[in-house]
Amino acid sequence: MIVGAVTASGEAVIPLTLYDPVGRELQFNAVIDTGFSGAVALSSELVDGLGLSLRGYEPAMLADGSERLFDLYDVVIEWDGTSRHVTVLAADGGPLVGMTLLAGYELRIQATPGGLVTITALS
């Protein structure tokens, strides 16, 4: 199970651990974004700081209906106690966890500041 919390500003966040190409660990909080169909989105600055190699590009539709081309990278994360290779989309804003990463899990959010956020594997 993955456990996080709702921030004072109403964002559901969870701790996320990823590894740079030489295996160094980086931990941070990521916002759960059910409107994001990818696995993980990181800022371009964070991607550059990690030294990730560009894998390709992918068009994606934004919330306003416009389409934009995003850079894609591969990274290893720790997810529910196991290492997983995932595709990272470089985008403006903070770290996001999307629906691809949540597939096969149940998400529960106590939607109040300080409320519990739990992600549990489905049987």
Structural domains of the chain sorted by starting position, each given as residue range(s) with its CATH number in brackets: 2-121 (2.40.70.10)
Residue with tokens 């389409």: 67
Q: What is the mean pLDDT of residues 70-92?
A: 94
Residue with tokens 């999307």: 98
Q: Confidence class of residue 5 from pLDDT cuts 50, 70 and 90?
A: very high
Cα–Cα distance, 84 to 65 (Å, whole number) = 31
Q: Confidence class of residue 64 from pLDDT cuts 50, 70 and 90?
A: confident
Task: Detail the DSSP E strand segments found in 1-123.
Answer: 2-6, 12-19, 25-32, 40-42, 54-61, 67-79, 82-90, 96-97, 105-109, 116-121
The answer, as to whether pTM is greater than 0.85, is yes
